[in-house]
Amino acid sequence: MTPRILVLHGVNLGMFGKRDPRHYGTQTLGDINARLAALAEELHVAVTVFQSDSEAEFVRRIHQAHEDGSSAVVVNAGAWTHYSYAIADALAILRIPIVEVHMSNVHAREPFRHHSVLSGVARGSVCGFGVDSYLLGLRAAVGQLEQE
Ligand code: DQA
């Protein structure tokens, strides 16, 4: 069966391409999703993407991953990363590999970005490589599934 990877983009990430290019480059979320789709084809996995600026919708989409046959999750929760225990709790319910990604190097930025409340429920994190963070995150998720 083809593994199904759910890629979750959180708050403000629909604005990639318009946000500070120093941290986030110039590619739009659509461009990023197209790169993910191309890599998914190469890796023989199916990718589903979801973006929301609503924490409640985001949590509900995570809940849905229990029933929709998702094999792994790649998540960039944006600023929620740093404080949303609700999203951390929702992800903790999943029994599938979770990979955390960030476009920017959060550790080289403001102190509030240095801590992630999601890292504890993720198998690992990738940050600082722009769009490549997502592509490396997808490869990591597939690698985790191959090891299971
Ligand atoms: C981000 C980093 C977060 O600190 C920030 O709030 C974002 C984007 C990133 O991809 O680098 O919105 O998750």
Q: Rounded CA gap, 98 and 140, in Å?
A: 9
Helices 85-93 and 55-64 cross at an angle (nearest 10°) of: 10
Structure-token pair, residue 64: 């849905």
Segment (H or E) for 102: strand 98-102
Alpha carbon nearest to ligand 1 atom 9, residue: 102
One-letter identity of residue 27: Q
Query: What pLDDT, on a 0 to 100 scale, did the predictor assign at position 8?
Result: 98
The binding-site residues of ligand 1, defined as CB within 6 angstroms of any ligand atom, are 12, 76, 78-79, 81, 102-104, 106, 113
pLDDT of residue 3 exceeding 90, the answer is yes
110-145 per-position pLDDT tens digit: 999 999 999 999 999 999 999 999 999 999 999 999
The sign of the dihedral angle between the CA atoms of 41, 47, 48, 54 is negative
Q: Rounded CA gap, 57 and 42, in Å?
A: 30
62-108 per-position pLDDT tens digit: 999 999 999 999 999 999 999 999 999 999 999 999 999 999 999 99
CA of 50 from ligand 1 middle (Å) equals 16
Query: What pLDDT, on a 0 to 100 scale, did the predictor assign at position 1?
Result: 86
Q: State phi, psi for 15 to the nearest 5 degrees.
A: -95, 5
Name the residue of 23, 100, 101, 102 whose CB sits within 8 Å of the most ligand 1 atoms, as the mutation to test its pocket: 102
Q: Rounded CA gap, 40 and 44, in Å?
A: 6
> Could you give the residue numbers annotated as active site?
24, 102
Atom of ligand 1 nearest to the CA of 12: 12
